[in-house]
């Protein structure tokens, strides 16, 4: 059985060395080059897997991959880069690459991917369109960007799920702008914001005189979105009667205005979103099962911001640039303020973060956002803020002990300090465990006999 032939194209010699040393085994041979022209020579002779870095000197790895994927259809391309922005991930998949790996990468994952891909070919290059550019270090978001790259050229319906404020409309717009419909209308409508008695008219339109107040003909959102994309946000809030009419629109690809007997043929892609569990609503009889499956051809579940803490800095920087017009310049965020933002749980998710950044820009007295410029809620039940405050208090305690003239032997500040800070720790763990010394010692990670000794030293026996 012949070995899998792998080619790595990168302008960093250390990366090429790592890939060659880390991937070569009894099943895999690795070729490396910094030169795209030499890479093309290798590809012409037959390569199973080709790793391509995005930045190759004057060359763009995505554009090279797009060219090579079309020419060498028996080769699987995988793009890698240290700059794992959303647009880079999406553009990579669009170019014909089978996957995208951010640096630094896990060699075992690369090797598993090589084995999984070998022998499977399915290239679908997509037109060059670029919009959002959110960086991410979050694995879930990387997979979502990859999925967008795969589905953007298709016309299949997409269901986006996630808590309020997680960016469902942003993702919907991203899908639209990466699709062949990018220059056609994108029409969003929030189902929860429109009373049910008006929603049918908003969606499908109405003719003059069809009901009280219908003084003119009106186009519906579906008609406005013809040849483009309609985004049905909070789809779970639609009542069952209207759900059946929406199902017909999806099935028949046509719409009938309120008060009319004529049908209009439509070519509209549907992206729906919900912050509620639609499967549960189906089970409760509050959402049509057939409509759910019509909408849920592909689903994207967005993680809440507290599961994306590694992206807080990227998003903060994005909003600082987005709202630079507040003070006609781009502010920066101090390390202390960023620590507080990262530790906060963000019940309102990305939308709440954006509002917080706008608030901080307004309150900032300099070009640097400091903790005092943030809303007070950021520091309520905030582990980072509590940790910072406690650290400052302990620092002051240390200074007091060092400067004290009452030290027992004049040079045992360490022992004095440890006695003071150790007592509340011992007391807290005993209170928490109901004075169980064995469990307390285990929680603290110290020997049980050592723990008992410290209990006696701190005169906590009477409490146990």
Residue 242 lies in a domain: yes
Q: What is the CATH number of the domain that holds 349?
A: 1.10.8.60
The answer to whether the CB of 302 falls within 8 A of the CB of 168 is: yes
In angstroms, the CA 427 to CA 186 distance is 61
Residue 439 lies in a domain: yes
Residue 20 lies in a domain: yes
Same domain, 296 and 160: yes
Distance of CA 24 to the CA centre of its chain: 33
State how far the alpha carbon of 364 is from the alpha carbons of 331, 343, 360, 361, 388, in Å: 9, 20, 6, 5, 21
Same domain, 182 and 253: yes
69: number of CA atoms within 13 Å, CB side? 26
362: containing domain:
305-383
In angstroms, the CA 323 to CA 331 distance is 9
Judge residue 22's burial from the number of C-beta atoms within 10 Å of its C-beta, 0-12 exposed, 13-18 middle, 19 or more buried: middle
Same domain, 317 and 204: no
Residue 390 lies in a domain: no
Domain count, the chain: 4
State how far the alpha carbon of 392 is from the alpha carbons of 236, 336, 387, in Å: 49, 13, 9
Q: What's the alpha-carbon Rg for the chain, to the nearest Å?
A: 30
Same domain, 169 and 254: yes
Look at residues 128, 143, 169 and tell me which one is the last residue of a structural domain: 128
pLDDT along the chain (464 residues), means of 10: 87 88 87 91 89 89 91 90 76 85 82 74 31 69 89 91 93 90 91 87 84 78 93 94 93 88 90 95 95 96 93 91 91 91 92 95 92 89 53 69 59 76 85 83 85 84 54
In angstroms, the CA 102 to CA 83 distance is 7
Q: What is the CATH number of the domain that holds 228?
A: 3.40.50.300
Same domain, 323 and 297: no
The answer to whether the CB of 305 falls within 8 A of the CB of 166 is: yes
Look at residues 249, 283, 301 and tell me which one is the last residue of a structural domain: 301
Q: How many CB atoms lie within 10 A of CB 58?
A: 7
Residue 142 lies in a domain: no
Same domain, 339 and 284: no
Same domain, 349 and 261: no
User: Would you state the structure tokens that stand for residue 383, as one six-digit string?
Assistant: 């582990």
State how far the alpha carbon of 305 is from the alpha carbons of 311, 319, 347, 444, in Å: 8, 15, 8, 31
In angstroms, the CA 66 to CA 418 distance is 62
Residue whose pair of structure tokens reads 């929406």 in the numeric block: 246
Same domain, 101 and 238: no
Same domain, 375 and 342: yes
Look at residues 301, 317, 343 and tell me which one is the last residue of a structural domain: 301
Q: What does pTM read for this prediction? A: 0.60
Residue 400 lies in a domain: no
Same domain, 278 and 321: no
Same domain, 330 and 258: no
Residue 248 lies in a domain: yes
The answer to whether the CB of 89 falls within 8 A of the CB of 76 is: no
Residue 136 lies in a domain: no
Q: What is the CATH number of the domain that holds 458?
A: 1.10.10.60
Same domain, 232 and 344: no
In angstroms, the CA 113 to CA 446 distance is 43
pLDDT at 13: 87
Q: What is the CATH number of the domain that holds 99?
A: 3.40.50.2300
């Amino acid at each position: 059985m012949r070995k899998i032939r792998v080619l790595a194209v990168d302008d960093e010699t250390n990366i090429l060395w790592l890939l060659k040393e880390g991937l070569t085994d009894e099943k895999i041979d690795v070729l490396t080059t910094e030169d795209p022209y030499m890479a093309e020579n290798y590809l012409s002779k037959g390569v199973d897997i080709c790793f391509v870095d995005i930045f190759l000197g004057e060359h763009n790895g995505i554009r090279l991959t797009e060219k090579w994927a079309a020419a060498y259809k028996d080769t699987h391309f995988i793009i890698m880069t240290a700059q794992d922005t959303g647009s880079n991930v999406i553009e990579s998949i669009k170019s014909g690459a089978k996957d995208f790996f951010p640096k630094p990468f896990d060699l075992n994952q690369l090797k598993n991917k090589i084995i999984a891909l070998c022998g499977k070919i399915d290239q679908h290059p997509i037109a060059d369109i670029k919009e959002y550019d959110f960086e991410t270090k979050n694995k879930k978001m990387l997979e979502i960007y990859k999925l967008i790259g795969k589905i953007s050229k298709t016309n299949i319906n997409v269901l986006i799920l996630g808590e309020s404020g997680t960016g469902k409309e942003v993702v919907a717009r991203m899908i639209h702008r990466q699709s062949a419909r990018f220059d056609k209308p994108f029409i969003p409508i929030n189902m929860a914001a429109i009373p049910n008695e008006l929603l049918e008219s908003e969606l499908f339109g109405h003719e003059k005189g069809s009901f009280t107040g219908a003084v003119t003909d009106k186009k519906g959102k579906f008609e406005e979105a013809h040849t483009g994309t309609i985004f049905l946000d909070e789809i779970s809030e639609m009542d069952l009667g209207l759900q059946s009419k929406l199902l017909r629109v999806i099935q028949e690809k046509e719409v009938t205005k309120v008060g009319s007997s004529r049908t209009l043929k439509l070519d509209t892609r549907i992206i729906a979103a919900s912050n509620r569990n639609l499967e549960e609503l189906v089970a409760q009889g509050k959402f049509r099962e057939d409509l759910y499956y019509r909408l849920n051809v592909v689903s994207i579940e967005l993680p809440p911001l507290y599961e994306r803490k590694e992206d807080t800095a990227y998003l903060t920087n994005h909003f600082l640039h987005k709202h630079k017009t507040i003070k006609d310049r781009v502010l920066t965020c101090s390390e202390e303020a960023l620590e507080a933002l990262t530790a906060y749980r963000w019940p309102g998710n990305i939308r709440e973060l954006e509002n917080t950044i706008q608030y901080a820009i307004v309150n900032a007295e300099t070009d640097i956002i400091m903790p005092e410029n943030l809303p007070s809620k950021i520091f309520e039940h905030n582990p980072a803020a509590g940790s910072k405050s406690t650290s400052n208090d302990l620092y002051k305690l240390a200074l007091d002990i060092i400067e004290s003239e009452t030290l027992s032997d004049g040079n045992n500040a360490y022992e004095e300090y440890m006695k003071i800070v150790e007592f509340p720790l011992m007391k807290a763990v005993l209170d928490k465990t109901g004075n169980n010394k064995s469990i307390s010692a285990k929680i603290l990670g110290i020997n049980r006999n050592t723990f008992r000794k410290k209990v006696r030293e701190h005169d906590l026996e009477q409490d146990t």
